[in-house]
Each structure stands twice: as C-alpha cells, then as structure tokens.
Structure 1
Amino acid sequence: MTSTGAGAGPVIDLHTHSSVSDGTQTPDELVAAAAAAGVDVLAITDHDTVAGWDEAADAARRHGISLVRGIEISCAWRYSSIHLLGYLTDPDDLPLTHELARARDSRSTRLERMVELMAADGIPLTYAEVESQVAPGATAGRPHIADALIANGTIRHRDEAFREWLGDDSPYYVGHYAPDPVRAVELVRAAGGVPVIAHPFTRTRSGGLDDALVERMSAAGLVGLEAYHRDHGRAEVERATALADRLGLVLTGSSDYHGAGKRNRLAENTTTPEVLEAIEAASSGVTQVVRA
C-alpha cells in the first residue's frame, strides 16, 4: 500500500464508487465494506451524481466511520478525459447540479450508440442487456457495458472489455458531453466545494494532462492532486509532487474502489489527516464531513 503519510493514524480513503454510478455495491454496502477493511474516513465520489450521499451518510453513522461526501466529474480537454473530484459541495447548488445532469443525460445516449456499433461488428450485446446492469437512478457509463458482457458470458472481467472494446481509442468509442476542466473547478468552488484532480497522470487513458492546464486549474481554485493511485508509478508521483510544491497544492491518496468492478482494494492508497484538514478548511462548510 502506498500512502501520502507514514506512521500510525486514521486510515483515510478519499475516492470510492457505489452502484449509484459504476461501483458494484450500494452506498450502504460500500460503507460496510470500508468499515470492515479498517477505513476510518471514507469519501463516496460517484460519477456526476450525489444520489448516494444520504444512504452513505446513514450507513457511516451506523458503522462508526466518518464520511466525506464528494463527486467525480468527468471533464474533457483536447480529446482527453480528465476526472475532477469535488469534495463537500453544496448538493443544491443549481449551476453545478445542472452541469451534472447534462453530463448524465449525454452518457446514456452515447452508450446506446456504442452498443449499436459493437453489435453491428458481431459483438453479442443489446442495449437492453446494458440497461439491466444500471441501478435505478444510477449514472450510466462504459463499465455497465462491460458488466453486460460479463453477464452474457462474453468476457470475465471489466478490464477485458476496456482493453478490447471500450477504451478511448476504440473504434466503438463515442464521446459524451463533459465540461472543460477549468470550468469544472470554478463550478466546484462556487458550490463551496474542494476540487482535486483524480489520477492526473494515469497511464490508462488516451491523451494526457499537461502542466500548463494544471496551472490554469490551480489559478481557478484547484486545491489538490490525487498523486497516490494504482495508475501512477514513481515517475507520476514525482511529477505530481513537483507540481504541488510549485503551485501550493495538496497531495491525496485513494483507492478508486469500485467493489467487484475493478481490482482496486479499499485503502490501498491513503491520505494524511493533515491533508484532510486542509480540504475541510478549503470548503465553505455548507456540506461537512459526517463524523463517526
């Protein structure tokens, strides 16, 4: 396990997903799994939605762990996908709410088109099969296509689907609406939240995030970089650390846990208490950490 800090202390995992987006556990089950894994502070960060917050908060109180309510916003820049974590935002902020709704609607229509392209090329799949994998009210995404292919016996794991058919460079890839990352930072800040770039230098997505864009996002109110993530090697951590030092950003570490949907394990990367304190201090306080 890699961590942003050393020594004993609370176990803080600031990036996980439930079945409200593309995880395989309900918010309640996610929190229970985190408690069983020894996590002291958990963030729920479903894609483009806060629909799992209330259930997760109730579960956190029952299981005796603290909860950071967040979202993961899908952004687009120069044909690259960039993900922004927004912690402690006001769930009733209209500009951010409208932007998230627009992104969710666009995701659904793009999945239909992707399934059409795949089926036309002989891949055994229907959109009805994909819909059956999406929980009511959940944010639909490519992992649900993968889950449908697992369910019908075509593949064994989501990784196979993304390697063969669902990657950004796949002939079946169809884009969807996503905000500019600088605009997303501004929206999160205006909603009282704290923006942190998720896995900024991941090697599993096409394109790349350059330092100039991070600088622009920092000028707009970016607070941190998720440096410690399984998609980052030593070079990516060193790059994130150098940028954070230069721009005055915090560094977080997280699992990006999806239940059975990915091989990531809870708390395989963690965040220090000092960084969590900095995140709380940077928020407006409208939405606070649910304390154990």
Structure 2
Amino acid sequence: MHQQLLINLVGWAGAATLVLAYALVSTQRLVGDGVAFQAMNIAGAVALTLNSAVHGAWPSAVLNVVWVGIGAVAMYRLARRSRKAAQQVAEQAAERELAAPSGRVSGQVRVAAFSTAIRHLLIPAMDRLAREHPGVVCSITEMEGAPALRELRRGVLDLTITDRDASLGLESRQQVSVVPLREDPYRVVVPAGWPPVHDYGDLADRPWIAGPPSSTTGQVLERLGRQRSFTPRRAHVCVDYPAVFALVAAGHGAAITPDLALRGIGRDADRLRVTDLPGPGARHLDVLVAAGREGQPAVEALLAALRKVAQ
C-alpha cells in the first residue's frame, strides 16, 4: 500500500515538473536550451518512466525513456558550449595581454545585421577599425530577427545589430548582452508630385508602401493609423528600402522610413519629399552581444567604432 502510494507520488511529481518546465519556458522565465529546463525535463521524464513501468503502461514508459535521451543529448551539447565559453574567456585574457603594450587589438568578429545597418553603420565602422585597429577582421552576414538571435546563442555569431520600435520598450533578451546604439527617428516620405501634405488626413485615402506586420515600419504604420484615426491602404508590402524609395519616387504611395535609411536615397532624392509630419516616433538600434564575448578586445573595438559612427 505504501509502495503504491510512493509510486503514485513519484508519477505526479514527474508530471508536475514537466508542466512547470513548460510554463517557465512559455513565460520566458527559463530558456529552452538552458541547463535548468533540460534538467527539469530529465527529472520529470525519469519519474514518469518509473510510474509507467510499475503500472505496465509501456507506451508511456518508452516515450519517457526517449524524452530522457533527448534531454541527455541536450545536456551534453550544453556542456560542450560551456567548455567552449571557458576557452573563449581564456583567449580573451590572452588577447588583452597582447594588446596592452601597443594599445592595438586583433581578432575576428562575426557580425549579423540588416542591410541598412551594414551600409550605414558597419561599413563606416570597419573603415575606422582599419585605421585604428588593423588587426581586427570583421565577418559580416546579412541576417536579422529570430535566425540571427539563434545563431548568436549558438555561438556562431559574436554580435548582431537589431532594431525595435521605441514605443515597444526593451524586449527581454536572455543569454545575450544588450548594448543600446542610437535612436533613429522615423520619417514619412511621399512622391514629389503629390500635393503638399499638412496632416495625416491628407494621406488617409492615399496608397501606402508598408513593411510586413512583423517589421518595425509595419508596426509604426499600424500604430499611426490607430492614433490618427485612419486606416492605411497598404498597396504594396516591401522590406528593402531602396525598393521602397523607388516605389515612392515613381508615385506609387507614401512610406514610413527610418532616418538612417534616407542616407541611401541616391538618385531618387529629387522625386520624393520628406514630410515634417509629427508622430511617427523612432526606432532603437541595439547591438546584441553573445554570452562570453563581452569584454573581448576585438568585440569591444568594434562596439567603440559603431558608437562613434552612430553619433
């Protein structure tokens, strides 16, 4: 009787542990590839395996054995990542010692960013690095959003440049360090041939070139519509700013664009007009640094160059 009660308690404890682990990950209190989550999964699955085997529920027992195996593989990979991070710390210390006498640093920095940041922030920062720290080599990948964050957490990247609508606040970023870079105001641009625009009422019936709903410019246009009581007519959806400017210059619609992107307006400058409409707000540009890479001399040199360029 007591043994049966103990087995039941073990089973319920295992089920509660698995549910708790899922709830903590869903509420972003734990990360899915962290030690705590995997340990809770393994412990819960072991308890349920024991309970299922005693009761002869073999499909459930086998399922939980597989669950334990998946957790064990994940823990092994986490251990490898931890050893790699420790090695990186040792390499950072060695690089700092080498850099101290001359004041110059060297090393490779792997960076991901969206196209506007590459053109107007990273390339000027690399030019500055070439003068001040010629031993620092940057490897750039055009990537953003969830894929870039995933590669950052895996250690494939050292840092990535991201953007977010200033009205949304700073999103929680686990396993990375967030370095604010600059505030980038939004502008409303219209074709040069359109009549003068004095307020958003003048654009209520006009077509818009919008970003996707998940993009910062897409979110800003949605917010502006709510605040100014109009429903934007999204005639086109476009991510690439040179393409956006070409569509605006050709008279196909108005658009919201960050100030940084206007640096690359090029030959379309005479065919579109930047308005003075209030309210679009701004986006924040942040640099996310992979865990274990903070303080690494080459990374710090690039961050310093990015800050100077962003001013």
Fold equivalence (TM over 0.5): no
Structure that is richer in helix per residue: 2
Which structure has the larger Rg over C-alpha atoms?
2
The alignment's TM-score, normalised by the length of structure 1, stands at 0.27
Larger RCO, structures 1/2 (Cα 8 Å, 6+ apart): 1
The alignment's TM-score, normalised by the length of structure 2, stands at 0.25
